[in-house]
Amino acid sequence: METGVISTAADLPLDARVRLIYDGVDLVLKTYAPELLVLEDLYSEYRFPRTALLMAHARGVICLAARQREVTVLALAPAEVKRAIAANGAASKAQIQTGVQRLLGLAAAPRPSHIADALALALTGFSRRGGRLR
């Protein structure tokens, strides 16, 4: 299992940030040639509209990279992922970390929580495609 985070400096212009995200995702897709890319659905209502809009820019270039490499994109609602991993659509970040740790038999909970969230998405996508979560 490989995990990672693509980070960009908040003070870079948006076009530079989306390019870094695109290049990072494209490299992952090129390296691992996955069958599936799982993304979190954007809520239609956000408490932080500015954050949601920034995330949607990133999401746009991630979808583009997937499409260009012919990788299927699956978008899952956060509540759906929480139910699959922690049997509770309103599970906390800590519950997701514990659930992911248990399902993958990891010695420690994945940190930062972004990585647990990504693994939770991947596991739920795997399960949707017929894989079995223990």
Nearer to a copy of itself, 69 or 83 (CB): 69
Cβ neighbours of residue 91 closer than 8 Å, sequence gap 6 or more: 82, 83, 85, 99
Nearer to a copy of itself, 68 or 88 (CB): 68
CA–CA distance from 37 to each of 4, 12, 33, 92 (Å)? Answer: 14, 26, 10, 24
Give the DSSP letter of residue 107. S
Give me the least distance between CB of 127 and a copy of itself, in Å please.
21
DSSP codes of every residue in 59-76? HHHHHHHHHHTT-EEEEE
Nearer to a copy of itself, 2 or 70 (CB): 70
Cα 51 to chain centroid distance, Å, stands at 16
Give me the least distance between CB of 57 and a copy of itself, in Å please.
3
Give me the helices (H) in 1-48, please.
14-32
Give me the least distance between CB of 38 and a copy of itself, in Å please.
13
Binding site for a copy of itself (CB under 8 A): 13-16, 18-19, 22, 42, 44-46, 49-50, 52-54, 56-61, 63-64, 66-68, 73, 75
Nearer to a copy of itself, 14 or 27 (CB): 14
